[in-house]
Structure 1
Amino acid sequence: MKTAPDGSEKTATASSPLRSWQFRKVLTAEFITSLGTQMTTLALPWFVLTTSGSPARMGLVFLIQILPVPLLSMWAGLLVARWGPRRVTIVGDLANAVLVASVPALYLAEMLPFWALLVIVALIGCVASGYLSAQRVLLAEAIGSDEGAVTAGNALFETATSTARLIGPAGAGFLIAQFGALNVLWIDAASFALSAALLTGLPRRVPRPEAAAAHNMTEGVRYLLRDPVLRTMSLAALGYGALMPVVLLALPVMARTRYDSDPHVAGWLLSAWGGGTALGTLVVARLARRISPTRLAAWGGVGAAVALWFLPWDQPALTTALTVAAGCMFLPAVTAPAVALMTLRPPEHLRPHVVPVFGALVFTASPVAYAVAGVLFEQFAVGTVLAGVAVGASLCSLVLLSLVRTPAD
């Protein structure tokens, strides 16, 4: 045991999340599923884009997949409170394994019209509505309640995700060229099944009855709106939820329009996204105990805005990848503190309801962004659209800078 400055005792887990075997299991499961998902993130839109030639159809696939998340997030919070995050995550893993595998299976059987693909991705989105918030609550259970440790834990959690973003798309680009886009989805399906097997080893926790009360869903919204720090974080999150999907959608479009429809370039651009984020998460994990979450988020927003101003330029693929990596390097400094504050500031019985509301805010803008971005890329040059993203990111950074003068407690 260690002694905190106020004289209270802190567990070793609070000083180092990696000392918790439960955290290591959750982290490993996240890396495995993220690796498969990041391959799908390139493979599925690449399949739609190359077979239809339509960025709008590609955007529609993203839209349909993400739309259920904001619509169902608050009800998903009730499910997490009643079932517990462990059970929701395992069931979500198994459901995702079946749904993802059904895409190549139906394609091989020549039973995959475009509407059927949209139904499948919509169901994946329904699963994600509960899965995403359950993961974060499960993470907090594995770490404890120390603010610095939870911020560091969330940064390490994003390290696993971003490392998968670095490896997955590059590997997917190679595999797509060799075996075709849809065959890559088998790997994603297997990753979900393996994650479910890993998480079955976590201890069972009986959910508290008061945490599952339906009225807590409304109280979660009210708490989020009353708290000035969470309210400001949510406003910034809404902005990034609208902006970053446009950047993500721009990467395969740039590979197609600027770089001769080369899937390898598309893979490397997505890998640059993951590589920059991975580097940023490692830095945030080290800084989490030295800098307050609000200040860390503010300066992360400024750094991301500056980097995104270089992205609209027409440039070689290498410098585009470096620019993407630089912009994404600052994002964990925003997201890790935001998730930590959303998890720890509310009372424990409200956390399963505040976290999904925050997720709903992020994902509310994403479906609109994917739909609008697909149309914008058909009407305007990719550089013009990305210049608008840079303006929006600058505004988000100003919102986050207001937190520097707001106490975190």
Structure 2
Amino acid sequence: MTTELAQRSPLRSWQFRRVITAEFISSVGTQMTTLALPWFVLMTTGSPARMGLVFVIQILPVPLLSMPAGLLVARWGARRVTIVGDIAYAVLIAAVPTLYLADMLPFWALLVIVALVGCVASAYLGAQRMLLTEAIGPDEGAVTAGNALFETATSTARLVGPAAAGFLIVQIGALNVLWVDAVSFAASAALLTGLPRRESAPEPLSANKMAEGVRYLFRDRVLRTISLAALGYGTLMPVVLLALPVMAKSRYDANPHVAGWLLAAWGGGTALGTVVVARLARRISPTRFAACGGVGAAVVLWLLPWDQPAATAALTVGASCMFLPAVTAPAVTLMMLRPPEHLRPHVFPVFGAAVFVASPVAYATAGVLFEHLSVSTVLVAVAAGASLCALVLLNLARRPAN
């Protein structure tokens, strides 16, 4: 009976639960390091510029190497790449406190370590999504729901990790928090080691496969369209996130509590949206789900530019974020399932690299915009852009997927 239930609902299988648990544990550790490592650099060097450089060096390899990393995933398989990535990350993060305590950690060595962490992440991020798909199977609805639950685990980690890091930094120091992160990745590797191996012939490392994956993404109408829309929302929503403290300052008397409520609404809306998507994913096709999410987000974003009480502003932010997982989860599902199996490791990294580049560009652009334009003007432009993305998704949903 248990086997039959697992077959009917892949989300209840032990493989899926292990993948989600491993993702949550490692994500909590990563979010702790996101606070602890910059704090360690700032406290030991006294230089905000060096702290910022650490961020840049760690992020830079991800968009640069995501597409070539797909070759490695195709060659080794998602399970092996994820496990090796967990172990490598644990060793690299543990090297920071180890070398520092041995008085062998000049700043250049720290930069080398964080650059290697970024290199690991370039293959790790795509492999995680493929491993999730392998644990669920080929059903589109189940994979969409699984991706939504994956985002739930990640969003929850973003809430838990920094808060835990702030507490632990006070109690044991930033350096020791890095040990906790290393242990979290070791635990993730242990969980994933028990997953069944997929028997498949290893592919040769060939740049032709990578180019074929890129061509397939741009040639396939569904993938091309939903990628464009998802990338649009991925570019617009960081502008909204950066607008929240600006709104608190300009509209609500620079009240830090309001800024906190707005940011909490962002996280809460996203988390609620992932749960809703997981519940409904098996009843709605990915393209229609994405269209519903895109339209909902666009409609709500038109409410944000206008002056309103802080409570309704928070509700508006939460509602707009609630619709976003209905766009991102189907987009990832189609990236994972629509291409032929031998091209899947080479298609998703293209999309991932584009999104990874778009977010920091959006943050930088938003900072300049808020220097010269009112927050309402910028948010009207965001709502207009989101409406265009929604129209693209609606047009996709109206036409056959084949």
2:181 aligned residue (182, 188, 208): 188
Amino acid across the alignment from 1:134: A
Task: Report the 3-state secondary structure (helix = DSSP H, G, I; strand = E; otherwise coil) of the residue aligned with 1:288.
Answer: helix
1:274 aligned residue (267, 273, 284): 267
Over 3 Å counting, the alpha-carbon distance change for 1:398 and 1:119 in structure 2 is farther
Contact 1:312 1:383 in 2 (8 A): yes
Quote the offset at 1:392 in angstroms: 3.0
Contact 1:301 1:397 in 2 (8 A): yes
1:239 aligned residue (205, 225, 232): 232
Quote the offset at 1:148 in angstroms: 1.4
More moved, 352-361 vs 207-216? 207-216
Quote the offset at 1:170 in angstroms: 4.2
1:84 aligned residue (54, 77, 80): 77
2:65 aligned residue (69, 72, 93): 72
Quote the offset at 1:15 in angstroms: 3.5
Over 3 Å counting, the alpha-carbon distance change for 1:139 and 1:11 in structure 2 is farther
Matched, 1:229 2:222: yes
Distance 1:270 1:182 in 2: 28
- The within-5 A match list for 1:8-407 is 12-13=5-6, 15-41=8-34, 63-101=56-94, 120-172=113-165, 184-210=177-203, 213-248=206-241, 271-311=264-304, 321-376=314-369, 385-407=378-400
Quote the offset at 1:394 in angstroms: 2.9
More moved, 183-192 vs 280-289? 183-192
Contact 1:38 1:165 in 2 (8 A): yes
Distance 1:255 1:62 in 2: 26
Quote the offset at 1:236 in angstroms: 1.4
Quote the offset at 1:240 in angstroms: 2.7
Contact 2:87 2:186 in 1 (8 A): yes
Quote the offset at 1:120 in angstroms: 4.7
Over 3 Å counting, the alpha-carbon distance change for 1:313 and 1:251 in structure 2 is same
Distance 1:33 1:332 in 2: 21
Task: Report the 3-state secondary structure (helix = DSSP H, G, I; strand = E; otherwise coil) of the residue aligned with 2:320.
Answer: helix
Distance 1:211 1:236 in 2: 33
Cα deviation 1:34-76 (Å, max 9, x = unaligned): 222334445667888997678x985x76554433222211111
Cα deviation 1:322-361 (Å, max 9, x = unaligned): 4443222111101111111111111111111112122122
Distance 2:142 2:204 in 1: 24
TM-score (norm 2): 0.81
For structure 2, the residue ranges without an aligned partner over 5 or more in a row are none
Task: Report the 3-state secondary structure (helix = DSSP H, G, I; strand = E; otherwise coil) of the residue aligned with 2:198.
Answer: coil
Cα deviation 1:154-177 (Å, max 9, x = unaligned): 122222222223433444455567
Quote the offset at 1:86 in angstroms: 1.1
More moved, 66-75 vs 315-324? 315-324
Distance 2:88 2:369 in 1: 34
Quote the offset at 1:291 in angstroms: 1.2
Distance 2:115 2:381 in 1: 29
More moved, 121-130 vs 305-314? 305-314
Percentage of pairs with the same residue: 77
State the number of aligned residues. Answer: 397
For the aligned residues, what is the CA RMSD?
4.0
Distance 1:130 1:379 in 2: 39
Cα deviation 1:129-167 (Å, max 9, x = unaligned): 111110111111111111111112212222222222343
Quote the offset at 1:215 in angstroms: 2.2
Distance 2:97 2:258 in 1: 24
Cα deviation 1:281-326 (Å, max 9, x = unaligned): 1111121121111011011112223334455668887666544432
Over 3 Å counting, the alpha-carbon distance change for 1:43 and 1:64 in structure 2 is same
